[in-house]
């Protein structure tokens, strides 16, 4: 199985195109105002229009209201939703779009229970728990905390970069890997060469 790659925190059209041309399967657009990678719906719409076909656009939300999500989707028609906060299953599924639920992993977090509660999610996105933040920290978590048999696909995130992604894929065997800060020159500014190196690392792990 070829591991899919998502490049998250895209803020510029040129970075989205660099990700697409390097072979990324998805790009992430952050709709969370405190994030340095936040984009407006208008900015996101421009990025979505510029992308070639067969690249999934993912909208990232953190404890937004249903009205805020709907208003964003009316202007920025992403293909997949990603919920990073304390959103309940019923909230996540009300928008008529497939979604992923993010779990910030640390000791004591029951991933099997999350998989049961969010059983209609397309995947669980597993990220590092860092107090007071909702991702994009560049921190990894202990991959041994992931149960051997989760009933949902895993999207692995947290502290991944071109140097460690191959090891992560071999050890965890996720459906996909997700990177943001690991391919940046500054927050929200991606490095095309790092994107290529990251995707190459993920593919080499599949050989």
Active site residues: 8, 127
CA R_g for the chain? 16
| Gap between the Cα atoms of 102 and 92, Å rounded | 11
| Gap between the Cα atoms of 84 and 39, Å rounded | 16
Q: Are 124 and 143 in contact (CB under 8 A)?
A: no
Q: Are strands 123-128 and 80-83 parallel, antiparallel or unpaired?
A: unpaired
Q: Beta-carbon neighbour count of residue 3 at 10 Å?
A: 23
Question: Which of 119, 120, 125 has its CA nearest to residue 101?
Answer: 125
């Amino acid at each position: 199985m070829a591991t899919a790659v998502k490049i998250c925190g895209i803020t510029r059209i040129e970075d989205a195109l660099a990700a697409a041309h390097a072979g990324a399967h998805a790009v992430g657009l952050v709709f969370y105002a405190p994030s340095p990678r936040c984009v407006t719906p208008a900015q996101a719409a421009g990025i979505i229009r510029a992308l070639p076909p067969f690249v999934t656009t993912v909208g990232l939300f953190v404890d937004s209201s249903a009205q805020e999500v709907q208003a964003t989707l009316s202007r920025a028609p992403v293909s997949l939703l990603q919920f990073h906060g304390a959103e309940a299953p019923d909230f996540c599924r009300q928008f008529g779009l497939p979604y992923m639920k993010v779990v910030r992993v640390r000791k004591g977090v029951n991933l099997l229970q999350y998989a049961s509660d969010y059983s209609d999610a397309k995947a669980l996105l597993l990220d590092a728990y860092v107090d007071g933040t909702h991702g994009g920290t560049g921190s990894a978590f202990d991959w041994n905390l992931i149960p051997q048999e989760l009933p949902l696909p895993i999207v692995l995130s947290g502290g991944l970069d071109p140097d460690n992604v191959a090891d992560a894929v071999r050890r965890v065997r996720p459906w996909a890997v997700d990177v943001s800060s690991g391919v940046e020159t500054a927050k929200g500014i991606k490095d095309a060469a790092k994107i290529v190196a990251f995707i190459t690392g993920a593919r080499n792990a599949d050989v």
